[in-house]
Structure 1
């Protein structure tokens, strides 16, 4: 067997030392291989039963972002009567971005047999809420129900005409609390809510499908709620009138 050439061995050692001094200590292939890296220290021996008894590590839970509470538009001294609420509704400076000018008041008396709720007044409303075509449709609906005008309370969730209103954003802005307080003071026996988006303002978490909402519970009353399309849509599409009437009949039968 021929012995290794000592000169060749020295040349190979010198070659490796040259590359090490040049900073090249990895062989780049499909997988990198550390030629000169120090071996990792062996893991300390432990009792096998210790690992078996140790509970598995729980993944860290993502931090829950807390939402800021909506602004308190009612303030420290909210209106305590329906008459005081109407005055506040027409004069409170922070209720909307425009200010008191152009707002339309609710109408009717407390503890009415029925509260009619819409998202906002009609475009031409001034002194009387729903004084235009939508109001005339409402009068026809009430007549078919056998309900007199003086037996209803008519209110809007927003104080002025606001086409394409973002009800979810208005709820976050504090108008949901305002509406809740309004309903509590009005204390109607039942509520019919005309308009997509009113669910978000009435505690339905943005639910816009039509039908029965859960009852609204207040300190002194419980109010069943029937949701419907807005009055303008009912005027434009007769089939929606028929659908509303069927829902009204079914809902009324449950309340009887």
Structure 2
């Protein structure tokens, strides 16, 4: 019988590839693995999608100026009792907050008016009802000052954990404090907070300082400025400097009442 001619080379190669493919082998293992069977031709890459232009962001709104505290000063109360009520209820005094407003307390024509930056965090109905107030009461006892001769006020109506002093200045709290002092008519005024005197036009050093007398509607009121009570609580040296400045300020007066 005559031998059949071998199949064409192409058929032999195709059959070999089919066998190896059925066996699950598609690589030639040598020192480096190489593809045995050529991978299928990749599909032609799809054209990249054209990026959609992002919509232009609107311009940030222009910052509004800080609201003024009743720019018409003729609307400010002209007696102390009405001022205290207005302090608690006026819509234009501030923009609200998480803490309640706390009223000032004390008599008119007080021997000493003390102004602090703001109420303590825990204050609700009485100003300086916490550790800062306890420090202040100890100071007043040391000076021989009767508490009922002291008028206690705060620059801000409520506690603010992070006061914005630029906004406070532009809102008119300095002018309002001057008006408040005019209603109280104290013999002396003590500012406990370095941010307070600059609102009234007085530069404040890093140390307690006797300030130029405060002039309001023809009256001159002796004034002294110092750091806040919270700072004094943390530093015995600051309490000592404050005490020495107080003695210089009241030298020759004996008692302050």
Report if TM-score (shorter chain) is over 0.5. Answer: yes
Structure 1 residues 180, 101: CA separation in 2 closer, same or farther (over 3 Å shift)?
Answer: same
**Deviation (angstroms), 1:97:** 1.1
- The match for 1:22 is none
Match of 1:141 in 2: 139
Shift in CA distance, 155/236, structure 1 to aligned 2, threshold 3 Å: same
Provide the aligned C-alpha RMSD in A.
2.3
Among 83, 89, 92, the alignment partner of 2:90 is 92
Determine if contact 2:215/2:221 at 8 Å carries over to the other structure: yes
TM-score after normalising by structure 2:
0.68
CA distance in 1, matches of 2:185, 2:168: 23
Distance 1:72 1:152, change over 3 A: same
1:128 to 111, 118, 126: 126
Question: What per-residue deviation string (whole Å, max 9, x for no partner) do you get for residues 100-155 of structure 1?
Answer: 97100000010000011100000000000001111110000000000010010000
| Structure 1 segments unaligned to the other structure (5+ residues) | 1-67
How far apart are residue 73 of structure 1 and its match? 2.4
Distance in structure 1 (CA, Å) of the matches to 2:218 and 2:185: 8
Mark the CA change 1:170 to 1:238 in structure 2 (over 3 Å): closer, same or farther: same
Q: How does 1:150-165 map to 2 (within 5 A)?
A: 150-165=148-163
Q: Distance in 2 between matches of 1:183 and 1:127?
A: 21
Show the counterpart of 1:102. Answer: 100
Q: CA deviation at 1:222?
A: 1.5
Give the direction of change, closer, same or farther, for the CA distance of 1:161–1:208 in structure 2 (3 Å limit). Answer: farther
Does 2:92 correspond to 1:71?
no
**2:242 is the counterpart of 1:250:** no
For normalisation by structure 1, the TM-score amounts to 0.68
The equivalent residue for 1:231 is 229
**How many residues are aligned here?**
188
Contact 1:190 / 1:225 at 8 angstroms: preserved in 2? yes
- SS of the aligned residue for 1:153 comes to strand
Could you say what secondary structure the match of 2:251 adopts?
A: helix
CA distance in 2, matches of 1:255, 1:72: 38
User: C-alpha deviations, 1:145-204, integer Å up to 9, x for none?
Assistant: 000100100000000001332334312111111111001001100011111211222222
For 1:161 and 1:99, the matched residues in 2 are separated by: 8
Maintained 8 Å contact 2:204/2:225:
no
Q: 2:188 and 2:149 mapped to 1: Cα distance?
A: 11
In 2, Cα distance between equivalents of 1:135 and 1:101: 18
Q: Which runs of 5+ in 2 are unaligned?
A: 1-64
Q: Residues of 1 paired with 2:164 and 2:98: CA distance?
A: 20
> Which one has a bigger Cα radius of gyration?
2
**Structure-2 change in CA distance of 1:213 and 1:255 (3 Å):** farther
Q: Are 1:175 and 1:201, in contact at CA under 8 Å, matched by a contact in 2?
A: yes
